[in-house]
């Protein structure tokens, strides 16, 4: 039954011929054409796309779909043959005002009295037309039903046409819903679907439901008839393709599309029809949480691309098409949506195990089998984290320096010390005995290899002097070498392919310079399951992404290597030696430290964090000649980060064991002698540098004598920069500093705030400092006068500084946002 007359049949016939041509040449077509949205000129989508554009361009007036409204109603009950006489007579029937609602099945009044006492079903309306002749009532719509006529009179011609098109839409969509609810012949059903699509495309109504209602009808039809042949499925997908150009598919239709992607990934429907749909989803979707099936459909589509002959090359081409040919992606939602799809897909690979790892009886049995009950304190849930390293055989260690090492508690059952080998300081990394064979856990087709815990190693690492002031030493670092910490997860083949596919997509995303800052921010909280981070293949692919972050000179990128908040591990910790994701000897860790030290992180806080948590890896890499780690150790000594004397001597011995370390340590000693001379009491109390002086001039001046008494230094109107902060922090008595109209910036302020705690007066007028640097001043509690005139200070930062600097009395914020 064709409710649209000839237009529906004509549209369907054209598509039928098109489909025949499509299926005849399906196997001979290339598997992926141009993926960019601007070139969606593929053969399958060309017909529907052109038809849609034609209808939009040839339309006249546009109307909003009415759901309710006020209108005058008159009902004339008579044989239809006398209608013309009644309408042309001068006698007017009685009109009643009603507030009518257009429901899905009938026309209903809010006041069911008079003419509209009973609802008027759309199925009872035989004809619907406008009354436009001279003697007819003005602005009327005629609804013919068996035994009479309903006249609806609007206030003007626009409202009349709006009521007419809305009633016509409701009546037709009601009939299509009934016809497609009980299909008999699928050739007729396909014709009706094409007519329905034509009706939606040609309707002058503008409303989201105009395209969504047909899609919901078709998705319900597909859900209730799951036994359709593949050919029927693809015919229906081709028929509804024009509706998907500007609309997201509803959830049920997404599920149908997912099934098609899984069952026929090489179908040209996937390439030709689904590609623009997925492109639109990635460009315009705002929240996958509201419609998770859109995300699942996108995920299955990408996996279908990966099944083509080109494999990941096809996926790479698709990702490049989403970014666009320019250096800047014009669609801000593409990257967050792609990352959301990747994260969800990666999580799904481990979802079954994550949901069952603490409740599965087999896991509990394995847990009890791997450990004796009296050895577990307390019982810990099974987690795929890197276990404690095995205990090496006890040894008599030679000291790393002339001073003795901190005392270590003896093991519970010490063997004969004379038989144990020693580790000389000049020897390379000692080889440790391998641990016992790992246990294999089989749960829900996921194989997990776990090493047996060794509590004696744990006790040895945690043992130390009662005062708790011992520092990690070089031997502790050797114990956490990744060579003796093996933990891997073996996934089923399909899950492994999914994991590899989306891990590679993250690699592709990190190659785009404009996407890298946002990608680093999205991945900073480490949004992956712990099981994925223990998977060697995944961490290897992810390592490339972290390496790209570490190589990026932009601070907003490499700063995301650090943890998102205090107390939580970041990528910096995970890829450091001994970290759960580290699979090398510390090369990536050294690269991360190098970029962070080269940025604004050359501060006491960063060095303290390294000394507390990563001193062992730093010493080990310095022992192997890594220049960045040698510099780190020298800075720790220079800034007095390490308080333990034995650890200081250990660091000195480590520096002296390599040529580069010895050279840098000798330079450090020279700087320390100069510093002692500089800080020796004497010299002027006030000093003013001439205008146009540079950082080099300041350094040369301060190296010429003693400035231990210098309290007031003026660098106003000079050419000094943040680099001169390295010299300023050597002045122990400095209380007043004038930096007016210099190029001193945020990095210098951060360094001053950590070393010049006694500074009382600071003039930053007309300097390029911003909130990022000014916030660091909150730690300088002695400040009583602060000039921030003509800087980029904001009101929020000003309020924060006033709250955190109790002694601040004199403040100048003129010509700033806080003024």
Highest mean pLDDT out of 370-374, 421-425, 533-537 = 533-537
* Model pLDDT for residues 719-759, shown as the tens digit of each residue: 999 999 988 988 888 999 999 999 999 989 988 998 888 99
CB 607 within 8 A of CB 641: yes
For residue 10, pLDDT beyond 50: no
* Model pLDDT for residues 703-716, shown as the tens digit of each residue: 877 788 899 999 99
What per-residue confidence (pLDDT) applies to 91? Answer: 55
Average pLDDT, the chain: 76
The answer to whether the predicted template modeling score (pTM) of the entire model surpasses 0.85 is: no
> What residue segments make up the domains of the chain, in order of their start?
68-166, 169-352, 526-675, 682-812
- Max CA pair span of the chain: 127
Read off the tokens for 51. 């038809």
Among 121, 158, 115, residue whose Cα is nearest residue 138: 158
Q: What CATH number has the domain spanning 682-812?
A: 3.80.10.10
**d(C-alpha 578, C-alpha 479), whole Å:** 9
* Model pLDDT for residues 61-91, shown as the tens digit of each residue: 889 999 999 999 988 776 555 555 555 454 5
Q: pLDDT class for 35, splitting at 50, 70, 90?
A: very low
Same fold, 68-166 and 682-812: no
CB 561 within 8 A of CB 572: yes
**d(C-alpha 515, C-alpha 333), whole Å:** 11
Q: With helix as H, strand as E and coil as C, how does 350-416 read?
A: HHHHHHHCCCCHHHHHHHHHHCCHHHCCCCCCCCCCCCCCCCCCCCCCCCCCCCCCCCCCCCCCCCC
Place of tokens 């991945």: 523
What per-residue confidence (pLDDT) applies to 208? Answer: 84
For residue 425, pLDDT beyond 80: no
What per-residue confidence (pLDDT) applies to 25? Answer: 37
Mean pLDDT lowest for which of 79-88, 143-152, 318-327, 556-565? 79-88
What per-residue confidence (pLDDT) applies to 531? Answer: 82
Q: pLDDT class for 304, splitting at 50, 70, 90?
A: very high
What per-residue confidence (pLDDT) applies to 797? Answer: 93
* The listed CATH number (3.90.50.10, 3.20.20.60, 2.60.40.10, 2.30.29.30) that belongs to domain 68-166: 2.30.29.30
List the alpha helices (DSSP H) in 136-263: 157-181, 186-202, 208-224, 230-240, 251-263
Q: pLDDT class for 190, splitting at 50, 70, 90?
A: confident
**d(C-alpha 105, C-alpha 107), whole Å:** 7
Q: Where are the beta strands (DSSP E) in 32-118?
A: 63-64, 68-76, 96-102, 106-109
What per-residue confidence (pLDDT) applies to 306? Answer: 93
């Amino acid at each position: 039954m064709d409710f649209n007359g000839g237009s529906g049949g004509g549209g369907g016939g054209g598509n039928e011929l098109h489909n025949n041509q499509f299926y005849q040449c399906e196997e001979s077509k290339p598997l992926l054409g141009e993926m960019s949205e601007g070139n969606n000129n593929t053969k399958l989508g060309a017909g529907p796309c052109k038809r849609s554009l034609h209808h939009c361009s040839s339309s006249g007036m546009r109307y909003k779909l009415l759901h309710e409204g006020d209108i005058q109603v008159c009902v004339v009950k008579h044989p239809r043959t006398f209608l013309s006489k009644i309408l042309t007579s001068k006698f007017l029937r009685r009109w009643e005002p009603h507030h009518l609602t257009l429901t899905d099945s009938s026309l209903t009044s809010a006041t069911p009295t008079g003419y509209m006492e009973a609802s008027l079903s759309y199925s009872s309306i035989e004809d619907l037309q406008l009354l436009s002749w001279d003697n007819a009532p003005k602005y009327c719509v005629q609804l013919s039903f068996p035994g009479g006529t309903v006249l609806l009179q609007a206030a003007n011609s626009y409202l009349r046409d709006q009521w007419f098109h809305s009633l016509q839409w409701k009546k037709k969509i009601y009939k299509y819903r009934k016809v497609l609810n009980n299909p008999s012949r699928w050739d007729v059903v396909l014709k009706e679907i094409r007519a329905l699509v034509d009706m939606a495309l040609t309707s002058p109504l503008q409303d989201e439901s105009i395209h969504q209602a047909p899609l919901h009808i078709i998705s319900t039809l597909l859900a209730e008839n799951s036994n359709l042949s593949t050919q029927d499925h693809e015919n229906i997908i081709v028929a509804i393709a024009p509706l998907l150009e500007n609309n997201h598919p509803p959830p049920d239709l997404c599920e149908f599309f997912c099934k098609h992607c899984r069952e026929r990934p090489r179908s040209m429907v996937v390439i030709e029809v689904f590609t623009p749909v997925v492109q639109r989803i990635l460009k315009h979707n705002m929240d996958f949480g509201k419609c998770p099936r859109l995300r699942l459909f996108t995920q299955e589509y990408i996996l279908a691309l990966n099944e083509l002959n080109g494999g990941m090359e096809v996926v790479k081409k698709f990702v490049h098409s989403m970014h666009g040919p320019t250096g800047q992606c014009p669609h801000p939602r593409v990257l967050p949506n792609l990352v959301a799809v990747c994260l969800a897909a990666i999580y799904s690979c481990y979802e079954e195990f994550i949901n069952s790892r603490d409740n599965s009886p087999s896991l509990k049995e394995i847990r009890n089998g791997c450990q004796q009950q009296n050895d577990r304190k307390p019982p810990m849930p099974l987690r795929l984290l890197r276990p404690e390293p095995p205990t090496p055989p006890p040894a008599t260690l030679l000291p790393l320096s002339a001073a003795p090492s901190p005392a270590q508690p003896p093991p519970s059952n010490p063997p004969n010390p004379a038989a144990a080998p020693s580790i000389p300081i000049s020897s390379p990394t000692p080889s440790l005995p391998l641990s016992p064979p790992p246990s294999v856990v089989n749960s829900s087709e996921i194989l997990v290899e776990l090493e047996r815990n060794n509590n004696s190693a744990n006790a040895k690492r945690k043992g130390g002097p009662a005062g708790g002031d011992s520092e990690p030493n070089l031997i502790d670092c050797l114990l956490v070498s990744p060579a003796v910490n093996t933990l891997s997860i073996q996934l089923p083949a399909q899950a492994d392919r999914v994991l590899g596919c989306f891990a590679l997509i993250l690699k592709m995303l990190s190659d785009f310079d404009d996407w890298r800052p946002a990608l680093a921010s999205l991945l900073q909280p480490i949004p992956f399951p712990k099981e994925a981070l223990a998977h060697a293949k995944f961490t290897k692919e992810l390592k490339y992404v972290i390496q790209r972050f570490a190589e990026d000179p932009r601070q907003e990128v490499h700063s995301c290597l650090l943890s998102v908040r205090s107390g939580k591990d970041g990528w910096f910790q995970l890829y450091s030696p001994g970290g759960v994701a580290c699979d090398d000897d510390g090369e990536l860790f050294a690269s991360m430290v190098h970029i962070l030290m080269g940025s604004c992180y050359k501060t006491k806080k960063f060095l303290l964090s390294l000394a507390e948590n990563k001193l062992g890896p730093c010493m080990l890499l310095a022992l192997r000649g890594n220049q960045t780690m040698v510099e780190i150790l020298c800075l720790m000594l220079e800034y007095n980060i390490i308080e333990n004397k034995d650890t200081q001597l250990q660091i000195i011995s480590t520096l002296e064991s390599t040529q580069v370390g010895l050279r840098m340590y000798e330079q450090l000693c020279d700087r320390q002698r100069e510093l002692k001379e500089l800080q020796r009491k004497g010299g002027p109390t006030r000093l003013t540098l001439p205008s146009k002086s540079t950082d080099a001039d300041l350094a040369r001046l301060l190296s010429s004598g003693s400035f231990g008494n210098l309290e007031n230094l003026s660098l106003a109107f000079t050419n000094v920069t943040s680099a001169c902060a390295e010299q300023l922090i050597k002045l122990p008595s400095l209380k007043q500093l004038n930096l007016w109209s210099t190029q001193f910036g945020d990095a210098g302020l951060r360094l001053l705030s950590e070393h010049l705690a006694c500074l009382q007066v600071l003039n930053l007028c007309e300097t390029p400092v911003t909130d990022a640097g000014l916030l660091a001043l909150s730690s300088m509690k002695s400040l009583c006068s602060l000039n921030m005139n003509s800087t980029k200070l904001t009101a929020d930062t000003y309020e924060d500084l006033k709250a955190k600097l109790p002694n601040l009395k004199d403040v100048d914020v003129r010509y700033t946002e806080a003024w």
